[in-house]
Amino acid sequence: MIYLKLFFEYFKIGLFSVGGGLATLPFIYELQSKYPTWFTLNDITNMIAVSESTPGPMGVNMATYVGNLVGGLPGGIIATLGLVTPSIIVIEIVAHFLKKFKDSPIVEAAMTGLRPASLALVCVATVSVAKAAIFRTELYEKTGVLLDFFDFRHIILAVILFVMMRKTNIHPIFYIIIAAAIGIILKF
């Protein structure tokens, strides 16, 4: 039964998350609220870190991660298959019809409409990641002190890494390794 739920939930995510790995995050947060025993909000932060720092598409890595948490190796495989199956089906259908209608104004208009939808999904994901990474809402709710709302260590690290990434041509994996090392050393 758990495997059917995993497949079905990730099938839905794969069907509706247009725009890549970050676009799956709003669906992951929804999944966490629907099945809170599967993984925690803190697990989502770990999923993002692991998925961004390992080879492969982020959405696929997160599906494998959750599936493995919930149902072991078979769960990881089933969740991953659930996520990619809609893409395979849609690509086959689109490829078939795109040959016939590639110059159609309707097809071009639909593709133009999907771009802002993808951007919106990525923006929602960005806000969700920012909330998990740099805001301490639980501490703020306890203390009521505005400065407790922000995790300044994480903000400073994020700004430094952002500036370094923009100014240098060093591979992103370097920054992931540096951030992990800083987290270990400073016990973030």
User: For the residues of 110-157, what is the DSSP string, one character each?
Assistant: HHHHHHHHHHHHHHHHHHHHHHHHHB-HHHHHHH--GGGGB-HHHHHH
Which pLDDT band, with edges at 50, 70 and 90, does 188 fall under?
A: low
Report H helices in 17-103: 25-34, 41-53, 58-101
pTM of the model: 0.60
Extents of the domains making up the chain: 2-134, 135-188
Residue 34, pLDDT score: 93
What percentage of the chain exceeds 70 in pLDDT?
99
Reference 122, options 3, 15, 22, 17; nearest CA is 22
Q: What digits encode the pLDDT tens for the residues 117-140?
A: 888 888 888 888 888 888 888 888
Give the mean pLDDT of the chain.
Answer: 87
Q: What digits encode the pLDDT tens for the residues 40-75?
A: 888 888 888 888 777 888 889 889 999 999 999 999
Give the distance between the most distant pair of CA atoms in the chain.
62
- For the CA atoms of 177, 183, 186, 188, the dihedral, rounded to the nearest 10 degrees, stands at 170
Rounded to 5 degrees, what angle do the CA atoms 94, 114, 80 make?
65
